[in-house]
Structure 1
Amino acid sequence: MPAKTVIAQHAAYRDDIGDLITRRPVPGPGVEQVDPFLFLNHHGPQTYGPDNNGLPFGPHPHRGFETVTFILDGELAHRDSAGHESVIRAGGVQWMTAGSGLVHEEVSPEDFKRQGGPMEILQLWVNLPGRLKMSTPHYVGVQADQIPALTADQGRATVNLISGAWGGQTGPISSLTGIFMTTIDLKAAGRVGFGSLAGRNVFLYVVRGQVGVNGIAAAPWNLVQLDLDGDMVEIVADEDAFVVFGHGEPINEPVVAHGPFVMNTREEIVQAIRDYQAGLFDAVSA
């Protein structure tokens, strides 16, 4: 199997939101998107003291894409206008299909704001093709114990399978567009490989630890961009490491983004703004 070629690495740049430490590798100066993966915010790691204000993501709208939120440390409370509500703890994941539009908030639970504690969260935006952009909104929240933790390389690698199939198991979340998504814990010298990737774009972000990706060194807080044609990826840890690894078929459609809306045309963005201002996002039924 021909290995995918590392064609670029994109360091996350610092873009704090108030007192929330935030790094963003995509979009950035060298990469607009890794189709269908649009955007990643890496919040933390940091520790909040007692009586803090928590996360600043109060009610706001979305349309036309999906959000995947990885709670690496701390807790996250979700509530949206489709009636979904949950508190997801460390190791869990939220997968929200904004589709035709909803309003949601992602904030810190009250006990976290009172007591404080460590916090680290990633949020990834995954595009939807035009035919699915007006899908009915949907939400799934899974705790860590609902995500299969599959070991490899004599226990030196653990693949946390969020969506898609691997190692004879299937993740708890079913993606509208066949997205494969994992997080991977690696001990020093641990390795794990993935195949059947030709024609699919890989999303690979190094959260912590130095790794090698098909023989190329990659440092923490770097997005590793690979070619479309190759078929396999091997990740080897130089030290204890944690990475986000996923892949999906490119959509190959125009992307017009404006704030929380991602559509195919400027006219669709204008309509999304009008619908939100008219209160239609608030009227989404569960």
Structure 2
Amino acid sequence: MQKFELRPGARPMVRGLASQASADGAGVKIQRVAGFQSPDFSPFLMLDEIRSENADDYIAGFPPHPHRGIETLTYMLNGEFEHKDHLGNRGAVSSGGAQWMRAGRGIVHSEMPAQAEDGQGGGMHGFQLWINMAAADKMGDPTWRDIQAREMPELALDGAGSLIRLIAGHWHVDGEDREGPLTEAAAEAAVGDIRLAADAEVTLPIPADHSVLVFVYRGALETERGAIKRGNMLLYGDGETLQLRAHNEGAGLLCLHGRPLREPVAHYGPFVMNSREEIEQALRDYNNGTLTD
């Protein structure tokens, strides 16, 4: 294979972050990449990957819990999750679908996996992304909606089978401006699922003022620093385009870009605000039963 070389204007890879084994909810096993205090992660805060064929690893799900100050985007490659919240929203997304939630000043919700009829689960592979909200918007109204797989544009990137599924935000693909079904995400956040054929190389224009992150969930990605295998998040520097080349086994990538917020971040559990005082207020509101008022 020819050595990977960046073209003029392409963003360099600045660093990589390996996902770490963790657990959340009622003991769901996940791989997590967190960047709450990292300026080059903004406006994104965290990405969790759920990936298991063993139902015991995920079937307990995420029982009712609160959030304030963030948006979440759950995207499923395999398996099904059902959302319920205190507003009365309820909906399920399965393979290829997504659900978006704006917590605003406060929401209490649950996300529970569906159990296969035979009780064996059937496997689960998906992601939850946390997106930060600007300080001026954090105490706004909460909302939620689901996005079914059929709503997501799927665009060819080459003649070898490489493609991008547009989940959120604005993209420029093959000379045209396109967008995913979710365009109201905070900080112009854009999310795309890119599948590259073996040895395929593609270049995507990205707004120069946006941060760019790429999570490798399948195969490996060639970079100027060598091959990066699945389970790693890549952070990119300044430039006008994103140049991606798959290793000889192909690659599955979750590509994120958005406008950095450049605001202080205070984080405690399910709450993300701008100061310790605001976090303490969120805790008081939750304990007093007024978080969602």
- Compare 171-180 and 75-84 and name the one that shifted more: 171-180
Q: Any gaps of 5 or more consecutive residues in structure 2?
A: 1-7
Q: 1:25 aligns with which of 33, 46, 55?
A: 33
SS in 1 for 2:65: strand
1:265 is matched by which residue type in structure 2? S
* CA positional deviation for 1:16: 3.9
Q: Deviations over 1:97-126 (max 9, x none)?
A: 111110000111355683421111211101
SS in 2 for 1:71: strand
* CA positional deviation for 1:33: 6.6
1:24 is matched by which residue type in structure 2? R
- Compare 103-112 and 198-207 and name the one that shifted more: 103-112
Partners of 1:163 and 1:136 lie apart in 2 by 20
Q: 1:233 aligns with which of 233, 236, 242?
A: 242
Runs (4 or more) in structure 1 with deviation over 6 Å come to none
* CA positional deviation for 1:155: 4.5
Partners of 1:220 and 1:203 lie apart in 2 by 14
Distance 1:54 1:33, change over 3 A: farther
Q: Which residue of 2 aligns with 1:270?
A: 280
Contact 1:54-1:113 at 8 Å conserved across structures: no
SS in 1 for 2:119: helix
Q: 1:74 aligns with which of 73, 79, 88?
A: 79
Q: Which residue of 2 aligns with 1:54?
A: 59
Q: Which residue of 1 aligns with 2:141?
A: 136
Partners of 2:206 and 2:79 lie apart in 1 by 35
Contact 1:156-1:189 at 8 Å conserved across structures: no
* CA positional deviation for 1:240: 2.5
* CA positional deviation for 1:76: 0.3
Partners of 1:41 and 1:249 lie apart in 2 by 21
Contact 1:140-1:173 at 8 Å conserved across structures: no
- Compare 186-195 and 145-154 and name the one that shifted more: 186-195
Contact 2:164-2:192 at 8 Å conserved across structures: yes
Q: Which residue of 2 aligns with 1:246?
A: 256
- Compare 52-61 and 272-281 and name the one that shifted more: 52-61
The answer to whether structure 1 residue 88 and structure 2 residue 93 are counterparts is yes
1:148 is matched by which residue type in structure 2? P
* CA positional deviation for 1:22: 1.5
Q: Which residue of 1 aligns with 2:121?
A: 116
* CA positional deviation for 1:72: 1.4
2:43 is matched by which residue type in structure 1? P
Partners of 1:33 and 1:60 lie apart in 2 by 29
- Compare 192-201 and 74-83 and name the one that shifted more: 192-201
Give percent identity, aligned residues only: 34
Partners of 1:34 and 1:192 lie apart in 2 by 23
Q: Deviations over 1:208-243 (max 9, x none)?
A: 11112467532110110111x212111111122211
Q: Which residue of 2 aligns with 1:98?
A: 103
Q: 1:162 aligns with which of 161, 167, 171?
A: 167
TM-score (norm 1): 0.89
The answer to whether structure 1 residue 45 and structure 2 residue 52 are counterparts is yes
Partners of 1:127 and 1:280 lie apart in 2 by 22
Task: Give the length in aligned residue pairs.
Answer: 279
Q: 1:36 aligns with which of 43, 53, 63?
A: 43
* CA positional deviation for 1:44: 1.4
Distance 1:113 1:244, change over 3 A: farther
* CA positional deviation for 1:190: 2.3
* CA positional deviation for 1:185: 1.4
- Compare 152-161 and 75-84 and name the one that shifted more: 152-161
- RMSD value over aligned CA atoms? 2.3
* CA positional deviation for 1:156: 2.5
SS in 1 for 2:123: strand
Q: 1:179 aligns with which of 174, 184, 189?
A: 189
1:145 is matched by which residue type in structure 2? R
Q: Which residue of 1 aligns with 2:4?
A: none
- Compare 106-115 and 191-200 and name the one that shifted more: 106-115
Partners of 1:143 and 1:193 lie apart in 2 by 27
Distance 1:72 1:196, change over 3 A: closer
Q: 1:203 aligns with which of 207, 213, 221?
A: 213
* CA positional deviation for 1:129: 0.8
